[in-house]
Amino acid sequence: MIRELAAGGILSKIIESKREELIECRTRLPLKEIKSHIRDVETPRDFFAAISSKTDDRHIRLIAEIKKSSPSKGLLISDLKVNDLAKRYEEAGASAISVLTERRFFSGGPENIGIAKESAKLPVLRKDFLFEEYQIYESRYIGADALLLIAAVLEPAALSDFILLSRELGMSSLVEVHDERELEKALRADARIIGINNRDLTTFKVDIETTFRVIREIPKGKVVVSESGITSREDVEKLRNIDVHAILVGESIVTSKDVGEKIRELVG
């Protein structure tokens, strides 16, 4: 399921931590129980439609992220109120919400998906490090409308299987790539939404030029999302000009003095 990662890097440490967490999760909430309760969960909201934009639409879609901390920047916001942020994101014009659910490195939690959905009517993306079938079912169980799949983490067969399973459960998959090789894997897996992460998951350095390079290889008909390192309206205009449909922004929003004003600046 999971491809071999370089030992000692941040990504490998996160994955090891998730493996340990999953042992506890399966004991506390077996997959059989999750499957039996999924039918009672609210029908997924349409994440794909929410972030799609036509070529002639100058308003880029924003996936606003709820993020308390990160391995590279540490604590971003000390008093995180998920319900308050979700409401403000929606009111300011975000098209969807991304919620970090990884606990140890990002100070998130699966419970924040439900809080965000209770507070706003926008589709909610689960952003985490997913590499086992259990986590795909768990994502639907906690109410996620979409989930992140990282091409760098998954073997090609697992990526294809998880995209298909997500669709069967009614969820969209945002398949994240960092270079052309990972993009090829995503395309072979029939990913509909391609997220280009400008952050190198090995070094955590950010370079927005990554999007400008990788997007050249993406065929028409895919929804393209640029992630990380987007801080200004100027960045957004540059991305819109190369036909990026949506942006995923977290740090520059949660660290701004006025969240609503920052979102309005980005969406235009």
Of residues 90, 102, 132, 176, which has the active-site annotation? 176
pLDDT single digits (tens) 80-121: 999 999 999 999 999 999 999 999 999 999 999 999 999 999
The answer to whether 168 is a known catalytic residue is no
Single out the catalytic residue among 90, 102, 227, 251: 227
What pLDDT, on the 0 to 100 scale, is given for residue 203? 75
Question: Which of 68, 127, 185, 262 is an active site residue?
Answer: 127
State yes or no: is 127 an active-site residue: yes
Kindly name the residue from 53, 98, 197, 226 that is annotated as catalytic. Answer: 197
70 catalytically annotated: no
Say what the pLDDT of residue 205 is.
Answer: 84
What is the predicted pLDDT for the residue at 35? 96
Predicted local distance difference test score (pLDDT) of residue 73: 85
Residue 254 CB partners (closer than 8 Å, separation 6+) = 65, 66, 67, 68, 76, 77, 80, 85
**Mean pLDDT over the full length of the chain:** 93
> Letter for the amino acid at 166?
S
Instruction: Spot the catalytic one: 18, 67, 117, 262.
Output: 67
The whole-number pLDDT of residue 248 equals: 98
**Torsion over CA: 2, 175, 24, 35 (sign):** negative
User: So what's the pLDDT on residue 240?
Assistant: 93
Whole-prediction pTM:
0.94
User: Under 8 Å CB-to-CB from 171, ≥6 apart: which residues?
Assistant: 44, 47, 139, 140, 144, 145, 146, 147
Give the per-residue pLDDT at 201. 75
> What pLDDT is recorded for position 148?
98
The segments of the chain whose pLDDT lies below 50 read 55
* Structure-derived torsion over alpha carbons of residues 137, 119, 228, 21, reported in degrees to the nearest 10: -40
Mark whether 227 is an active-site residue. Answer: yes
Residue 118 designated active-site: no
Task: Spell out the domains of the chain, with CATH numbers in brackets.
Answer: 10-267 (3.20.20.70)
What φ, ψ does residue 250 adopt, rounded to 5°?
-125, -65
**Among this protein's residues, is 228 annotated catalytic?**
yes
Provide the pLDDT for residue 12. 87
